[in-house]
Structure 1
Amino acid sequence: MTSVRNHRPQLSGNKWFIFVSAALIIGACSPKVRTVPAPVVKTKTEKIPDKTEKIPEKPVRRSEAKASVVSLILPLGLDHAAAGQKYTASGLRMANMSVEYYQGFKLALDSITATGANYKLQLFDSKGDAAQAHSLALNPKVKSSELIIGPIFPDDIKSFTPVLNAARKPIVSPLSPASPATYKNQNLITMTPPLEYHAMGAATYIVKNIKPKKVFILTSGFSEEKLYTSPFKRTIDSLSKRKIQVVTITVARGNLTALIAQLSANNQNVFVIPSTKQAFLMVTLRSLAELSKNYPVTLFGHPNWERFVFLKAALLQQLNTHITSTDKIDYKSAETNTFLRSYRSAYRAEPTDFAIKGFDQGMYFGNLLADGEDMDKPDLADFTGIHNSFHFIKKPGQGWINTHVDILKYEDFELKRVK
């Protein structure tokens, strides 16, 4: 679930030579970076601080400790980088994603080392292959890590996690929004909220902020939409104590005539469309736009809508459209701009969403490790990052799940955060 992205330059080919040479040293330490103060040159005219003058406090450094071992398992596909080999288009996308995430994650750890923290960052190539992921789960260097980040893809996670199911070993699923129920591993930490938490977030906002008497769910009839509609309805019923009626209608050819008798001419009529099918959306949204000429309409859509170029901002704004998101970046904030400067300086490139996610997660887990958190029984506190915020719940057999989603609304032909 990603937000409307700024188009950034792709990684240059030259960057690969730099990265691959480092990545080939699998299991190498992340260098400990220290901030070295500039030498102070004392002169005869140097001011001696008055006893009453407040002297600025020095940054608090953590006590020196042994290196925390972190293993990153990413689909680099380094065998394709060898002489005489080449990447496929999909393989290159996976490799680029891996490089970008790695660079963001490492930049975070390097920045924390300035406070006295110490890390050993091990990098392993899963090759995007389930068998390779299973093999890595048996690797003693991986098993002895204090924290494991990856694998990335659901099939690889399914192959990897059963090997470590008995051990108290936190395994971070950094990018996949797949439901942790499919893995059944109590040690899993799911960073990207699964679809059901988007539905629950939308339902919570509707109950607490709009407070309608009815909510209309417009479906295309595909069973996959129940992954959204079921948790949505449960949340509405629970929070409203069934005082808000949920009306589910299967729409054919955009025909909304049967709804007109139930609509209010004065109050907001809330609609939810869980579909991601282009043909269905184009027809249904046009019909809903016609209704909006006579009835107040507020629409909630699937989180993937923000990636669909066929959905025009003008139409979505006309329908007072809201979507849930985990990827909204405030490019005007001081924290974001500090990160951008650091990333550009370190890598001579623009950070992608994957780099920013890597940085947020590196800062979060890096600080936990530096503070001596027991990762066998971690206390995963709330965190506000550049890319997304983290709010975890613990579910038996599923591990920790980040449930935080933002509510975005189309205003001035762009998405803006309203919650």
Structure 2
Amino acid sequence: MRFTKWIFLLAGIIFTSFAFSLKAQDSAIVKLPDTLRAVKYKKPVLTILLPLYLDSAFDASGQYRYGKQFPRFMLPGLEFYEGVQLAIDSLKKEGVVLDVNIVDTRSSQSLGNILAQSVVKNADLLLAHISFNELKPLAEFANDEKLPFINVNLPNDGGVTNNPYMVILNSTLQSHCEGIYNFLQRNYGKGPIVVFRKAGAQEDRLKAYFSDVEKATMGTALKLKYVTLPDGFTEAQLKIHLDSNRITMAVAGSLDEGFARHLAIHLATLNKTYPVQVMGMPTWDGIRDLDKKEYKDLEIFYSIPFNPVRTDALSEAIGRHFKDNLFSRPSDMVFRGYETMYRFGKLLQEQGPNISSSIGEKKHKVFTDFDIQPVLLDNQKQQLDYFENKKLYIIKKLNGAVQTVF
């Protein structure tokens, strides 16, 4: 039944995407009070670029290609789209008037041809769920067109510099290191902190980020002890760096998921006699089995840029919608689609073409307290690099229970 619902939704996207394209050609008039109806206003245009894979899913006759299967690679874009649609419904009820265009970045067209479409070039704001290879050309296009572009999902600058029109919502690794360091500084400044890592270029980059934060800190610097572990490290190799008389904070200085699991399992065992807590990297949010018995009683922390709390009335309503209509639970991508469409849709209606200067306004919160700040390429010259969401949430997982602690 869930599979059938997704297929109907895909078919619906084909129709609505076509309808949105027609709408984008129409310069409709915003409904205004009598005193203003003589003045014509063009609706603000918001274009959303998503990997929907419609050309892959259906053949020229409209037949679904995958039989009774539903490819997992289609889910992120589809779930984001569902969140966008729910937000559009909410905005309509509030009388928000926008021209919204959905563009499939996985259509048969090249990215260059996609960016040449009028619904992209004539937009007032771009929201994009993109891949790494698409980031730089899309950012360059936005800069050339002086068109604000919000990178919703990719936690990377993609080598983009000197671009005041790019906004990164999913905070970069460097920002996560800053947030983790600040959290440790506030809560573990007097205790032992051991950074367990493995050899590698990525791990060296993480260490460099922490070193940069340490040099710039206004408070007392943390005394981080770095320990490079061999492949297949043992509990004995961890134990010599722990203290049986007080809690040690162990930081996982690697993004590798295999390393993360191996470290956490060993620390959970050692925790019985050597009290320890572990600070993971943002990638730990993707490890779905941290509530298993192998991690019993180990307090696990990590950072994420989007609010994970789902106890508010709106989150519960979205959950009911998915349960009743798709026989499933909404993923984080659904909530991300909803809050970006709603928040920036409201802001676009208010600001219109001037939205670039107001993109960081802290208003129209849905789930996340976005803190969009300029990132400087050159601090002395105050040269702007791009904008980035600097708000991070530190969450704690313990025996399956999830709690926001910072």
Q: TM-score range by the shorter chain?
A: 0.7 to 0.9
- Sort the Cα spacing of 1:186 and 1:24 in 2 relative to 1 into closer, same or farther, 3 A: same
- Sort the Cα spacing of 1:164 and 1:318 in 2 relative to 1 into closer, same or farther, 3 A: same
**Aligned equivalents of 2:243 and 2:341: distance in 1?**
49
Pairs within 5 Å for 1:157-168? 157-168=135-146
Offset of residue 231 of structure 1: 2.1
**Aligned equivalents of 2:270 and 2:247: distance in 1?**
12
User: Would you say how many aligned residue pairs link Structure 1 and Structure 2?
Assistant: 380
**Aligned equivalents of 2:172 and 2:322: distance in 1?**
29
Q: Secondary structure in 2 aligned to 1:27?
A: helix
- 2:121 aligned partner, one-letter code: K
**Aligned equivalents of 2:364 and 2:275: distance in 1?**
35
**Aligned equivalents of 2:72 and 2:290: distance in 1?**
25
- Tell me if structure 2 keeps the 8 A contact 1:70–1:147: yes
Offset of residue 394 of structure 1: 0.9
Offset of residue 279 of structure 1: 4.8
| In the alignment, structure 1 residue 19 sits paired with structure 2 residue 13 | yes
Q: Secondary structure in 1 aligned to 2:91?
A: helix
| In the alignment, structure 1 residue 405 sits paired with structure 2 residue 392 | yes
- Tell me if structure 1 keeps the 8 A contact 2:81–2:334: yes
What residue in structure 2 maps to residue 284 of structure 1?
263
| In the alignment, structure 1 residue 417 sits paired with structure 2 residue 404 | yes
Offset of residue 274 of structure 1: 2.8
Offset of residue 105 of structure 1: 1.7
What residue in structure 1 maps to residue 48 of structure 2?
72
- 2:13 aligned partner, one-letter code: F
Q: Secondary structure in 1 aligned to 2:226?
A: strand
Structure 1 stretch 202-211 or stretch 103-112: which is displaced more? 103-112
| In the alignment, structure 1 residue 381 sits paired with structure 2 residue 361 | yes
**Aligned equivalents of 2:77 and 2:265: distance in 1?**
40
What residue in structure 1 maps to residue 153 of structure 2?
175
- 1:288 aligned partner, one-letter code: L
- 2:394 aligned partner, one-letter code: I
What residue in structure 2 maps to residue 143 of structure 1?
121
Structure 1 stretch 285-294 or stretch 110-119: which is displaced more? 285-294
Cα-to-partner distance string for 1:255-276 (whole Å, 9 max, x where unaligned): 5767767654443211101334
- Sort the Cα spacing of 1:162 and 1:276 in 2 relative to 1 into closer, same or farther, 3 A: closer
- Pick aligned residue for 1:370 from 342, 349, 352: 349
- Sort the Cα spacing of 1:316 and 1:238 in 2 relative to 1 into closer, same or farther, 3 A: farther
Offset of residue 413 of structure 1: 2.6
Offset of residue 229 of structure 1: 3.0
Offset of residue 401 of structure 1: 0.8
**Aligned equivalents of 1:181 and 1:159: distance in 2?**
11
| In the alignment, structure 1 residue 199 sits paired with structure 2 residue 193 | no
**Aligned equivalents of 2:218 and 2:243: distance in 1?**
20
Q: Secondary structure in 2 aligned to 1:249?
A: strand
**Aligned equivalents of 1:237 and 1:379: distance in 2?**
30
| Percent identity of paired positions between Structure 1 and Structure 2 | 17
- Tell me if structure 2 keeps the 8 A contact 1:66–1:118: no
- Pick aligned residue for 1:249 from 213, 219, 227: 227
- 2:301 aligned partner, one-letter code: H
| In the alignment, structure 1 residue 353 sits paired with structure 2 residue 332 | yes
Cα-to-partner distance string for 1:34-73 (whole Å, 9 max, x where unaligned): xxxxxxxxxxxxxxxxxxxxxxxxxxxxx98641111112
Task: List runs of 5+ in structure 1 lacking aligned partners.
Answer: 1-7, 32-62
| In the alignment, structure 1 residue 390 sits paired with structure 2 residue 384 | no
Pairs within 5 Å for 1:94-133? 94-127=73-106, 132-133=110-111
Q: Secondary structure in 2 aligned to 1:204?
A: helix
- 2:126 aligned partner, one-letter code: I
Offset of residue 110 of structure 1: 3.2
Q: Alignment RMSD, CA only?
A: 3.5
**Aligned equivalents of 2:399 and 2:217: distance in 1?**
32
Question: Normalization by structure 2: what TM-score?
Answer: 0.80
Higher-Rg structure is: 1
Structure 1 stretch 137-146 or stretch 354-363: which is displaced more? 137-146
What residue in structure 2 maps to residue 297 of structure 1?
276
**Aligned equivalents of 1:206 and 1:378: distance in 2?**
32
- Tell me if structure 2 keeps the 8 A contact 1:215–1:247: yes
Cα-to-partner distance string for 1:175-228 (whole Å, 9 max, x where unaligned): 112235446532111121122222222211111122234421111112212343
Offset of residue 162 of structure 1: 1.9
**Aligned equivalents of 1:19 and 1:358: distance in 2?**
15
**Aligned equivalents of 1:255 and 1:178: distance in 2?**
33
Q: Secondary structure in 2 aligned to 1:29?
A: helix
- Sort the Cα spacing of 1:258 and 1:162 in 2 relative to 1 into closer, same or farther, 3 A: same
| In the alignment, structure 1 residue 216 sits paired with structure 2 residue 194 | yes
What residue in structure 1 maps to residue 298 of structure 2?
319
Offset of residue 235 of structure 1: 2.7
Cα-to-partner distance string for 1:319-350 (whole Å, 9 max, x where unaligned): 32211123554333223224445677898975
Cα-to-partner distance string for 1:67-109 (whole Å, 9 max, x where unaligned): 1111112222332323267369999445443333223223323
| In the alignment, structure 1 residue 226 sits paired with structure 2 residue 204 | yes
**Aligned equivalents of 1:355 and 1:416: distance in 2?**
21
- Sort the Cα spacing of 1:239 and 1:264 in 2 relative to 1 into closer, same or farther, 3 A: farther
Q: Secondary structure in 2 aligned to 1:193?
A: coil
Q: Secondary structure in 1 aligned to 2:110?
A: helix
- Tell me if structure 2 keeps the 8 A contact 1:196–1:231: yes
**Aligned equivalents of 1:67 and 1:384: distance in 2?**
20
- Sort the Cα spacing of 1:295 and 1:395 in 2 relative to 1 into closer, same or farther, 3 A: same
Task: List runs of 5+ in structure 2 lacking aligned partners.
Answer: 27-35, 377-383
- Sort the Cα spacing of 1:76 and 1:91 in 2 relative to 1 into closer, same or farther, 3 A: farther
